């Protein structure tokens, strides 16, 4: 019996020792695992921070890109606006040019036809006020080509228009067509 106790106690001690060993191993394993997981965690953190860095860099790039695009689009828009404004100015200038040119050219006609086309030139011509631009242009072109002679003074009018370009004649006709016929001033 005593031997059995002895064996038992040896076994118990062995068990305790073994279990102790096992605990130690476990402890070691746990410690290892902890270190490993800490390493992993660190690596993970690094990864995260790397990822964050990458994301931030990408974001910064994207933002720069977006900002560049915005600047570009504002630029393009401004250029378009400037181009449109230039075109408008050009259109206005072109639209005004015939009137100014016509007014300038009419100075040498005013002596006979009156400042606003209200006179019968040399008492012979029809009134030029109140006529349409196309009628006036046709008559003037006909005079310039020597094809019109209403009161026997077609040649005089031909001389007046000899040096004029078609664009001058059109500008003149356009300007004269703005003259209103006064009451009692009709043909």
Q: Which residues bind ligand HEC (CB under 6 A)?
A: 108-109, 111-113, 121-122, 124-126, 128, 136, 139-140, 148-154, 156-157, 160-161, 172
Residue 39 or 158 with smaller CB distance to ligand HEC = 158
CB of 95 to ligand HEC, least distance (A): 21
Supply the minimum distance, in Å, between the C-beta of residue 106 and ligand HEC. 6
Residue 79 vs 104, nearer CB to ligand HEC: 104
Select the residue whose beta carbon is closest to ligand HEC and give its number.
109
Burial class (CB in 10 A: 0-12, 13-18, 19+), 129: buried
Q: Are 184 and 118 in contact (CB under 8 A)?
A: no
Please identify, using beta-carbon distances, which residue of 92 and 150 lies nearer to ligand HEC: 150
- Rounded CA gap, 94 and 67, in Å? 40
Q: How far is the CB of 186 from ligand HEC (least distance, A)?
A: 12
Kindly report the number of other CB atoms within 10 A of residue 135's CB atom.
13
| Nearest residue (CB) to ligand HEC, 23 versus 187 | 187
Pick the closer one to ligand HEC by CB: 152 or 184: 152
The residue length of the chain stands at 187
Q: What is the DSSP letter of 151?
A: S
Could you give the residue ranges of the DSSP H alpha helices within the chain? Answer: 2-113, 133-144, 154-161, 166-176
Smallest gap from Cβ 173 to ligand HEC, in A, equals 8
Min separation Cβ 96 and ligand HEC, Å: 20
DSSP of 63-103: HHHHHHHHHHHHHHHHHHHHHHHHHHHHHHHHHHHHHHHHH
């Amino acid at each position: 019996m005593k031997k059995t106790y002895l064996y038992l106690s040896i076994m118990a001690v062995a068990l305790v020792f073994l279990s102790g060993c096992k605990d130690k191993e476990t402890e070691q394993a746990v410690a290892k695992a902890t270190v490993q997981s800490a390493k992993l965690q660190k690596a993970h953190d690094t990864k995260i921070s790397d990822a964050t860095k990458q994301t931030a860099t990408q974001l910064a790039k994207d933002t720069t890109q977006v900002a560049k695009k915005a600047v570009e689009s504002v630029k393009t828009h401004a250029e378009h606006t400037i181009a449109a404004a230039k075109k408008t100015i050009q259109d206005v200038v072109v639209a005004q040019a015939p009137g100014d040119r016509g007014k300038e050219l009419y100075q040498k006609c005013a002596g006979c036809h009156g400042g606003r086309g209200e006179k019968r030139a040399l008492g012979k011509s029809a009134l030029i006020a109140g006529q349409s631009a196309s009628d006036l242009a046709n008559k003037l072109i006909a005079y310039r080509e020597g094809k019109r002679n209403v009161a026997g003074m077609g040649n005089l009018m031909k001389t007046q228009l000899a040096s004029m370009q078609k664009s001058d004649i059109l500008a003149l006709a356009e300007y004269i067509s703005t003259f209103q016929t006064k009451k009692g001033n009709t043909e």
